[in-house]
């Protein structure tokens, strides 16, 4: 067997998708075999996912954006904070690259990554993948489940979906690795739709990570 693929994970919240990855790597037999988790990094110190990582014996780090916004205030009056974002992303990239991972999984990481993060990782040959609760080319950005539900209630939509895709500068537009439709028929509430989507997310993030990890392993074996 080839060396395990080294995987770093970025989170912002409860870490249920992180838990799905951890469980898949430790199940019998593992559904996410031959990986090692190098670090879990959160942009929020209160993220419950950090506790999940610690319980699983995975190193954790926190890197929040607020100190960067204080160092690089935005005089424009709009909440762009481009200089703060780029400084943050450069430091985040440096933190990630310390562990020399083969791939980074954005599992509920609620920040849009700039070139200051993407370019150093691309140069180092690190794959970056993201889980997104919509199909490719459909809904992008935040609030996709809520927007899909609003359209469903208006009779404009009968399905949505989940995808795992490569991360590029254009938000949620990178090449899809895997995607799956979610039928909305019979949904009685936003909460029910959220549950349907989360169930698909927990399996798809494992399948997507496994596919990319296998590609990484096959390249390093040659």
Under DSSP, is residue 15 helix (H, G, I), strand (E, B) or coil? Answer: coil
Asked whether 17 and 107 are in contact (CB, 8 A), the reply is yes
What proportions of the chain, in percent to the nearest 5, are helix, strand and coil? 40, 20, 40
Q: How far is CA 117 from CA 94, 199, 205, in A?
A: 8, 30, 22
Say how many residues make up the chain: 222
Residue 198 bears catalytic tag? no
Residue 72: count of CB within 10 angstroms of its CB: 15
Number of H-type helices and E-type strands within the chain: 7, 7
Element (H, E) at 180: strand 176-183
Catalytic residue among 132, 136, 198, 202: 132
Q: Which residues pair with 6 in a beta bridge?
A: 36
Active site residues: 132
């Amino acid at each position: 067997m080839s060396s395990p693929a080294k995987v770093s994970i970025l989170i912002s919240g409860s870490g249920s998708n992180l838990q799905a990855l951890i469980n898949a790597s430790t199940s019998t037999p593992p559904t996410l075999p031959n990986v090692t988790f190098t670090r879990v990094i959160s942009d929020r110190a209160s993220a419950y996912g950090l506790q999940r990582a610690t319980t699983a014996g995975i190193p954790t780090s926190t890197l929040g954006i607020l100190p960067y916004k204080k160092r690089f205030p935005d005089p424009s009056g709009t909440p762009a904070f481009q200089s703060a974002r780029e400084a943050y992303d450069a430091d985040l990239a440096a933190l990630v690259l310390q562990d020399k991972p083969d791939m980074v999984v954005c599992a509920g990481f609620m920040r849009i990554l700039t070139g200051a993060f993407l370019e150093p990782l691309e140069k180092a040959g690190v794959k970056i993948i993201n889980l997104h609760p919509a199909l490719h080319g459909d809904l992008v950005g935040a609030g996709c489940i809520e927007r899909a539900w609003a359209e469903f209630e208006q009779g404009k939509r009968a399905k949505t979906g989940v995808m795992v895709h490569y991360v590029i500068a254009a938000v949620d537009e990178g090449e899809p690795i895997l995607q799956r439709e979610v039928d909305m028929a019979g949904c009685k509430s936003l909460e029910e739709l959220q549950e349907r989507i989360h169930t698909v997310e927990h399996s798809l993030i494992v399948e997507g990570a496994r596919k990319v990890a296998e590609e990484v392993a096959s390249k390093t074996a040659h």
